Amino acid sequence: MDYKRLIRSWHLKASEEDYFSKFVFEYLAFIAYLKTQSPYDKSSDRSAIQSLKRDDEIKNEYLIKVENDINLNSSWLATQDELKEKPLGNVSRDPDNTEEIVWWNCSRGQLRDKTEEEWTKEAGVLHSLEDWENMVEFWYSIRNNLFHGTKDPEVKRDKKLVEFGYKTLSPLMQIFISRMRD
């Protein structure tokens, strides 16, 4: 299978539809990149996500974009404000019971290695516009909540979070695609 072509196709398809469709296609391109093109641990989606959180080169390149791109910066500021008002939780297991996202504030490979400080730090919020590990966790959490059927295209907050997910993930995909060699 030509994964590079598939990743580019999904990224292109993400620019065509409503934000729910855009996010789904962008996320498909994102996870396909992590699992087929990146140097990360590919044993599971979670291990690839945790590896990305520890990638200082990608982190620095993305955070420079956040700082210099007014649209990306505003999308993260709006996301930060929305999450301050109501932190993001995990509803993928039980839509009627929001759980704390245990991987929030954690870039370690295993939850058992999470420090006491990381466990006590508020979960579900962005602590700053340099909070890379939680930016990555935001995309993964939106994906989990959406793919497990609890994001509603008619609910205002869900619309906003999915839109922010797309608007903030797409620039990362541009970075990844620029690194792919044919």
78: exposed, middle or buried (Cβ count in 10 Å: 0-12, 13-18, 19+): middle
Whole-model pTM?
0.89
Residue 99, classed as helix, strand or coil, is strand
Q: Which of 48-52, 126-130, 158-162, 171-175 has the lowest mean pLDDT?
A: 158-162
Q: What are phi and psi of 99, to 5 degrees?
A: -105, 155
| Cα–Cα distances in angstroms (integers) from residue 142 to residues 1, 88, 147, 174, 178, in the given order | 28, 9, 8, 20, 25
Distance between alpha carbon 117 and the CA centroid of its chain, in Å?
23
Render pLDDT for 144-162 as a digit per residue (tens, 0 to 9): 877 765 555 666 778 899 9
Q: What is the mean pLDDT of residues 108-127?
A: 95
Render pLDDT for 3-19 as a digit per residue (tens, 0 to 9): 787 788 767 767 766 88
Q: Which of 16-25, 60-69, 173-182 has the lowest mean pLDDT?
A: 16-25
- Between 154 and 173, residue with greater pLDDT: 173
The answer, yes or no, to whether residue 113 has pLDDT greater than 80, is yes
- Between 96 and 36, residue with greater pLDDT: 36
pLDDT recorded at residue 182? 67
Q: What is the mean pLDDT of residues 88-105?
A: 85
